[in-house]
Amino acid sequence: MFVYDPDMSYSMDDQIRSDLEPMTTILPMLLKKINIVIDALAIERITTTSKQSNSGNCSVYAIKYIEFLSIGRQVELVIVFYMPKWWRKLAVELYTIDCTT
């Protein structure tokens, strides 16, 4: 499990482990129910990603991290320079969704 913490909001790795303990316990149990067996989840702290410039960008950062990770791109490429473009792109994509079907 990777924890993306560019602004070092967690002061210690022990705090991260404590906060994620429920997830590292429950997720393997849920996966076992669908016949995916894992022993344990390791936690790795990533501090090389871009720090968001304001509190309004967190959702776009999360979306972009998921997109980049799902296609095998480096999340370090998710930088504040592209945020205005990604905001507009996301707004257009959401606006053009046909919700009538």
Residue 10 belongs to domain spanning: 1-47
Does the pTM exceed 0.95? Answer: no
Instruction: Based on the fold, state whether residues 63 and 101 are members of the same structural domain.
Output: yes
Q: DSSP states of 83-94 as a string?
A: HHHHHHHHHHHH
User: What is the chain's percent helix, strand, coil content, to nearest 5?
Assistant: 55, 5, 40
Does 43 lie in the same domain as 59? no
Residue 40 has which token pair? 């344990």
Same domain, 7 and 42: yes
| Same-domain check for residues 37 and 78 | no
| Residue-level pLDDT, tens digit, the chain, 101 residues | 677 666 666 666 777 778 888 888 888 888 889 998 887 777 777 777 777 767 677 788 888 888 988 999 988 888 888 888 988 998 898 888 887 76
- Alpha-carbon distance of 82 to 91, in angstroms, equals 14
Q: Are residues 37 and 67 in the same domain?
A: no
